[in-house]
């Protein structure tokens, strides 16, 4: 298992480890830098580029996975059903491309785009553009005929103007110890929740938040072989009950818990978020099936073989959020 110093620090930040108190002087400097940057945009000393079409930003203020990318995929499908032509804009964390903006095609590898953009392109079929310069990437989506832009993990990229901000929180971890980097997991102070248009809570909320939010769950929808082939129903699984489960996502334990809820006996193998898998990572010396997330699957296409399965999941926001969203879309 490949869990590095960064992952151990993240666990400590969410658990509120006492030793993090020694980092609070650095946290004060970080908060000051965040406030100065926001003030520079607000006062016009740094430019904010506004697109001629609506922009919806989906993001979080915590390090680690919250489930925002599945919500972006759901939003893309929802918008298409209502007659929009959405496009997805991403920073492409973990990817390296020789040129930007990078417009994903079926042949674009996850190594170039990053795992989440590759997954979103596969799941939605809408145009996906990766660019560290968000306004430049947004202009490319406009050239492709998009009339609604979804910015994945774009909450802190305030150089791109937005019409709606949706903040996703992991219900299990909440805001951790409530401290900003490096004394805690927050990218921005907790007060940021009060300024967004909607807060979506992924899973059962175990820690109180300073504001109310809409509930969301991640629902398993199908199994598919990594090597290609027809999708299978979630239940019963297309293999016996004992499996090796690998996960290089923000919170692997969530994936393992989902598998157990499906009745599987899980041998868990957690890896760091955005982990780049090798054949050795999937070799366990027995004939048990290996199961993984869709996010990890896009990085393992060259490792595909018999007995490796992918569990597809979809975001399922509560009806109140859908009603709120449709009302705001109508206003846009």
What 3 state SS string does 106-151 have? CCCCHHHHCHHHHHHHHHHCCCEEECCCHHHHHHHHHHCCCCEEEE
Model pLDDT, residue 2? 43
Model pLDDT, residue 145? 97
- How far is residue 303's CA from residue 279's CA, in Å, rounded to a whole number? 6
87 Cα distance to chain centroid: 16
Residue 205 structure tokens: 């909320």
- How far is residue 178's CA from residue 190's CA, in Å, rounded to a whole number? 7
Mean pLDDT of the region 144-156: 96
Model pLDDT, residue 251? 85
Mean pLDDT in the chain? 94
Confidence check: pLDDT of 67 > 60:
yes
The residue ranking higher by pLDDT, 251 or 232, is 232
Model pLDDT, residue 1? 43
- pLDDT-derived band at 298 (thresholds 50, 70, 90) equals very high
Confidence check: pLDDT of 45 > 50:
yes
Mean pLDDT of the region 16-24: 94
Model pLDDT, residue 8? 81
- How far is residue 266's CA from residue 220's CA, in Å, rounded to a whole number? 16
CA dihedral 191, 192, 197, 203 (to 10 degrees): -90
Confidence check: pLDDT of 291 > 50:
yes
Mean pLDDT of the region 31-51: 95
| The model's pTM | 0.94
Mean pLDDT of the region 128-155: 97
- How far is residue 9's CA from residue 29's CA, in Å, rounded to a whole number? 19
61 Cα distance to chain centroid: 12
Model pLDDT, residue 86? 98
| Integer angstrom CA distances of residue 166 from 80, 155, 181, 314 | 18, 8, 21, 17
Element (H, E) at 322: helix 319-331
Model pLDDT, residue 4? 60
**Domains of the chain, CATH where assigned:** 5-216+318-331 (3.40.50), 218-316 (no CATH)
Q: What is the 3-state secondary structure (H, E, C) of 251-287?
A: CHHHHHHHHHHCCCEEEEEECCCCCCCCHHHHCCCCC
Mean pLDDT of the region 134-155: 97
Mean pLDDT of the region 96-102: 93
């Amino acid at each position: 298992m490949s869990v590095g110093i960064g992952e151990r620090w993240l666990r400590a930040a969410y658990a509120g480890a006492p030793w993090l108190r020694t980092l609070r002087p650095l946290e004060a400097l970080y908060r000051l830098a965040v406030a100065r940057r926001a003030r520079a945009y607000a006062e016009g000393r740094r430019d904010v580029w506004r697109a001629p079409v609506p922009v919806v930003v989906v993001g979080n203020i915590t390090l680690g996975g919250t489930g925002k990318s599945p919500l972006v995929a759901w939003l893309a499908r929802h918008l298409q059903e209502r007659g929009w032509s959405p496009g997805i804009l991403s920073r492409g964390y973990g990817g390296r491309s020789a040129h930007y903006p990078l417009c994903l095609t079926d042949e674009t590898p996850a190594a170039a785009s990053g795992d989440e953009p590759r997954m979103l392109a596969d799941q939605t079929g809408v145009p996906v553009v990766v660019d560290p310069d968000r306004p430049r990437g947004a202009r490319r989506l406009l050239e492709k005929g998009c009339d609604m832009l979804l910015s994945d993990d774009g909450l802190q990229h305030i150089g791109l103007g937005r019409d709606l901000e949706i903040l996703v929180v992991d219900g299990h971890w909440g805001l951790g110890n409530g401290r900003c980097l490096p004394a805690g997991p927050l990218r921005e102070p907790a007060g940021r929740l009060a300024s967004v248009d909607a807060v979506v809570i992924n899973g059962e909320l175990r820690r109180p938040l300073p504001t109310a939010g809409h509930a969301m769950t991640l629902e398993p929808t199908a199994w598919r072989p990594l090597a290609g082939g027809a999708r299978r129903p979630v239940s019963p699984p297309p293999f016996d009950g004992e499996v090796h489960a690998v996960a290089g996502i923000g919170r692997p334990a969530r994936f393992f818990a989902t598998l157990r809820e499906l009745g599987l006996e899980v041998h868990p193998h957690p890896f760091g978020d955005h982990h780049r898998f090798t054949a050795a990572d999937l070799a366990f010396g027995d004939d048990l099936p290996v199961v993984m997330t869709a996010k990890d699957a896009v990085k393992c296409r060259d490792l595909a073989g018999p007995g490796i399965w992918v569990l597809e999941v979809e975001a399922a926001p509560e009806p109140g959020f859908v009603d709120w969203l449709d009302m705001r879309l109508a206003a846009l």
